[in-house]
Structure 1
Amino acid sequence: MNVSIRNMTVPRKIYHLLFWLVVTVIFLYDRRYLIQKFNLPDHFIECVTVRLLLVISLVYFHLYYLVPRYFRARRYTVYALLLFSALIVYVSLQNLYDIYLYGYVIGDLASRDFWHAFPYNFVTISWYLLLTAALKVSLDWYEERKKKTSGTDLSHLQHPNGQEKIVFLKTGTRQIKTNLDHVTHVKGLKDYSIVFTKQEQIIVKGSLKTTEKLLADKKLVRVHKSYMVALDLIKTINDNHIILDGHTIPIGRSYKKDLYKLLAI
């Protein structure tokens, strides 16, 4: 078990390091070019540090918040509006910081004030975002392909004692180790499912039917078109609802008869 987890996490750390190394090298090269062009050694460390922090914050916000929450959920309008707003904020902070350090915005001689430098810096940071997104997609694709070709199935693992069964549920860019015995119920949305455990809620991509196959070793029973419940955890039924760990789960009319048979009611 420990060996399998180690084999999975180490490559991700390497990919993560490689990802930011490339972003940083590209960013520093661009800054070096401007420093050579204008011969501005003063405040170089401060300028690079602040700009790099701004870039990292923007890239993280884009890749790990906007993309999984809005773009992958096909909420393209909200995604575009939030991304555009984030770009505006980034460019404004970058320009204002240049003016604070040097009295003008670093760039072309004809575009040294806040507004004239705005279009160029906006296009530049948009290119950075596109580059980092493409690199992230490429690394994720390579990692998934490596998993498939290695012949190692990390989606389902079992302890040596044969009792505790583990699955890795993918949510966004993360793989969350989940004990099947801790899964209480699953709620299906349109293109996503929420897996409820005794400790947390995990959002996974896929319909309720897809999630049911993923959790095949956990005895889940469909009680509603949008809900599955762990059969062994059903203790209380109140009218047409199951009361489970503080959650009230509806029982669909077409599922009630089969459920009652399973529970010997």
Structure 2
Amino acid sequence: MTLSCIAVDDEPLALGLVCAFIEKTPFLQLAGRYSSAVEALQGLMKTPVDVIFLDIQMPDLTGLELARVLERSNRGTQNTRIIFTTAFDQFALDGFRVDALDYLLKPFNYEEFLRAASKARNYFELIQRPDTLPVAAPTPVIVEVADDYLFLKVEYQLVRVAYSDILYIEGLKDYVKVYRQSDPNKPLLSLTSLKTLEEKLPTRQFMRVHRSFIVALDRINAVTRNSVQIGSAMIPVSDQYKDVFGQFISRWL
């Protein structure tokens, strides 16, 4: 499978590097290079592509704005996936919200680029299989299939997460961050609500202690009057949940 793609970046060196990486990758075909999102939009109106390697911080029209324009216009979005390339990690959540396939943080090397490109290839191979439902379904799901793990929809795949691996979960409006013992510095970001996840988790192992946090009870290292500690993280306990949490703590005494 060969994927057509374009690179969009207002920095000449960065644009040249992405184009060189594209041309170096056997399953990618460079269909265009643009130094502004406005130029890229004009090109996409004429010739849609499979993948856009898109910078975020650009004058006139940012990468995020271009992604939203494409989403609203439905021009090429059915089969076009975006991989953001940026020096600013604070845009990761925004990139997830506009259905970005991946997020490359500058400076990145070819190995990191190839990993993102391979994810794009896997996505297109998956949606072309006649026996496979589209993975970019509009309604994200959490599927619990056993007593000791669940599946989280993360980007374009379902990730199996063992209950025993979960440290705590943070809610971010329509998203959750799941912090795990196996990789505490890289939480899983999933498009679902904390309430939905709370309903799926076994109450004997997990407890909501704040409107934005659920904790794994057996991972608590210490407690204070208004917080719990899990590893190096201090998680607040709000007044709404203090009574229930207090009953749990009383078992320790």
TM-score (norm 2): 0.48
Between Structure 1 and Structure 2, the one with more helix by share is: 1
Between Structure 1 and Structure 2, the one with more strand by share is: 2
